């Protein structure tokens, strides 16, 4: 239980600071610290992120920091991406998805170092 609380706290803090937390932080921690399978970690992270995103959106919205038009322009197509992603994820092995995820994280880190 304590590990889950720590994973949630890390995901929430990083989500608020950098706009990340679910896939980038919570999924690997749920797998490494809590022994979740990658599918269960992904689904659990998405459910937790819904709560985090709602709270963050309300808070940033009250501060006047949300561009609602742009948020809809990004968010509505993202719904389609979720539908496609869930279907593709169901057909990909856990090992393959873990390796692809690791490559994406490394590539993102390199891009952030090169283009800060």
What is the arithmetic mean of pLDDT over 64-82? 94
Q: Is the dihedral of CA 93, 82, 25, 7 positive or negative?
A: negative
Q: Which domain holds residue 8?
A: 2-114
Please state the pTM of the whole predicted model.
0.72
How many domains is the chain partitioned into structurally?
1
What would the two tokens of residue 21 be? Answer: 């937390």
Return the percent helix, strand and coil in the chain, to nearest 5. Answer: 85, 0, 15
Distance CA(6)–CA(9), nearest Å, equals: 5
- The predicted structure's pLDDT at residue 21: 66
Q: pLDDT tens digit string along 77-116?
A: 999 999 998 899 889 888 898 888 889 889 988 998 998 7
- The predicted structure's pLDDT at residue 51: 87
Mean pLDDT for all residues in the chain: 89
């Amino acid at each position: 239980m304590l590990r889950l609380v720590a994973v949630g706290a890390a995901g929430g803090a990083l989500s608020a600071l950098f706009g990340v937390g679910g896939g980038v932080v919570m999924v690997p921690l749920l797998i490494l610290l809590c022994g979740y399978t990658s599918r269960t970690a992904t689904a659990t992270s998405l459910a937790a992120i819904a709560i985090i995103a709602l709270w963050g959106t309300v808070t940033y919205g009250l501060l006047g920091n949300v561009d609602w038009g742009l948020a809809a322009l990004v968010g509505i197509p993202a719904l389609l991406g979720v539908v496609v992603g869930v279907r593709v994820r169901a057909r990909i092995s856990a090992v393959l998805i873990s390796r692809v995820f690791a490559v994406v994280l490394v590539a993102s880190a390199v891009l952030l170092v090169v283009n800060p």
